[in-house]
Amino acid sequence: MTAAKTILILGSGIGGIVAASLLRKQLARKHRIILVEREPRHVFPPSLLWLMIGARREEQISRPIERLARSGIEFVHGEVERIEPQTLSVRAAGREIAADYMVVALGAELASEAIPGLAEAGHNFYTLAGAQSFNRARRDLRQGHLAVLVGGTPFKCPAAPYEAAMLLKADARKRGVHPAVTVDLYTPEPGPMPVAGPEVSAKVRELVERTGVRVHTERMVAEVDPSARLIRFKNGATAPFDLLAYVPPHRAPSVVRAAGLAGESGWVPVDRETLETKFPGVYAIGDVTGIPLVSGRPLPKAGVFARGEAEVVARNITCAITGAGAPRSFEGHGACFIEIGDNRAGFGSGNFFAEPAPLLRLRAPGYLLHLGKVVSEKYWFYRWF
């Protein structure tokens, strides 16, 4: 008989939800699956883009995490205060929890405060509150400059700021305020989604500019002046705005860094095939990880990778506990929809582990691909909640 084990999952983003759910399905009930999360509700991140333009409501894109308890997952609602990877234990919600296996899926910490004036000047559409506040503000903008700003790299959902800009341009047309409302996108990147390679990056840029969005690359922000409504960049350039939507700088959560899990990149280094960290029994998945590619760029931080990594980790922990089946390896395949507005979307997919460079394909936008993204949103909640 296999002794009862405890598996601890930290974080209930896409990776954490999938890992916890699959482990609960694959293991006998004597084994404990404990999920720790500070938020009471899970928000599906891709849908925040629709929420920021009024195409979704909060209740449509979120679910109570405690619903997972129906399947036998123990939900600990509270902050992860300390991680002890050497002993596979944590302090969370004021209590000590020990485990036999640990999966760190805490995502990225959004550090708006790292850029002076940013939080006061704009709306962080990577959060539920920020997307909601932006949605209210954009309805009052009848003329002026609408800016989408990327505060730093790397950031999760590499297509998201470009999608946001195109959706906002389409929204301006729909509201009848085009061309009185201009849309400009500012990013420190050399081009959209550079990890995809120069050919795909150029195609995405062409796609964005074709909608009327003006793209400004290699713009590293230094500060934002809320009173003057002005973005100042490190190269001395400035840009005015009347309404600002931004992607904040990202970093590994402080509790992860304090635990000694982060490496030289600032993110958690893992075996790219098994997602194991340097600590036995401790895995890391999703946005908290830093997985270098042969190009020197990191694997993008995206939900599709978090899900794939979670599937591999859940399978391999199950094999280690039961001794049955064969372990799996994460192979670096990913895909994402690229919303361009007017109920159309493109689709990029491929192998990011391919050598000497990621091998990707970009499909032209159409209504059926937009419908595919809608279906994927609905299926997510059907499948996991």
Buried b / exposed e across 117-146, counting CB within 10 Å, b at 16+? bbbebbbbbbbbebbbbbbebbeebeeebb
User: Is a pLDDT exceeding 80 seen at residue 343?
Assistant: yes
**With helix as H, strand as E and coil as C, how does 63-111 read?**
EEHHHHHHHCCEEEECCEEEEECCCCEEEECCEEEECCEEEECCCCEEC
Distance from C-alpha of 173 to C-alpha of 181, rounded to nearest angstrom:
9
pLDDT of residue 285: 98
Region 378-382: what's the mean pLDDT? 97
pLDDT of residue 42: 98
pLDDT of residue 155: 97
pLDDT of residue 193: 94
- Region of 158 please: left (phi>0), alpha (psi -120 to 50) or beta: alpha
Mean pLDDT, the chain, rounded, equals: 97
Distance from C-alpha of 336 to C-alpha of 345, rounded to nearest angstrom:
10
User: Is a pLDDT exceeding 80 seen at residue 163?
Assistant: yes
User: Is a pLDDT exceeding 80 seen at residue 166?
Assistant: yes
pLDDT of residue 1: 65
The C-alpha angle 309, 323, 14, rounded to 5 degrees, equals 20
Q: Residue 106 to residues 52, 65, 279: CA-CA distances in angstroms?
A: 24, 15, 17
End-to-end CA distance of the chain: 31
Region 261-275: what's the mean pLDDT? 97
Q: In this structure, are residues 116 and 214 in contact, taking their beta carbons and an 8 Å threshold?
A: no
pTM attached to this predicted model: 0.96
pLDDT digits (tens, 9 = 90+) for 134-147: 999 999 999 999 99
pLDDT > 90 in the chain, percent: 97
pLDDT digits (tens, 9 = 90+) for 51-61: 999 999 999 99
pLDDT of residue 53: 98
Question: DSSP string spanning 27-68?
Answer: S-TTSEEEEEESSSEEE-GGGHHHHTTTS--GGGSEEEGGGG
Question: DSSP string spanning 147-209?
Answer: EEEE-SSS-BSTTHHHHHHHHHHHHHHHTT-TTTEEEEEE-SSSSSSGGG-HHHHHHHHHHHH
pLDDT digits (tens, 9 = 90+) for 269-315: 999 999 999 999 999 999 999 999 998 899 999 999 999 999 999 99
Distance of CA 148 to the CA centre of its chain: 17
Best CA proximity match to 239, nearest among 211, 260, 219, 265: 219
Q: Which of the two residues, 356 and 107, has the higher pLDDT score?
A: 107
Domains and CATH numbers, the chain: 6-108+252-322 (3.50.50.60), 111-250 (3.50.50.60)
pLDDT of residue 357: 87
User: Is a pLDDT exceeding 70 seen at residue 230?
Assistant: yes
Under the banding of pLDDT at 50, 70 and 90, the label for residue 39 is: very high
pLDDT of residue 2: 80
**Regarding beta strands 32-37 and 6-10, do their DSSP bridges make them parallel or antiparallel, or are they unpaired?**
parallel
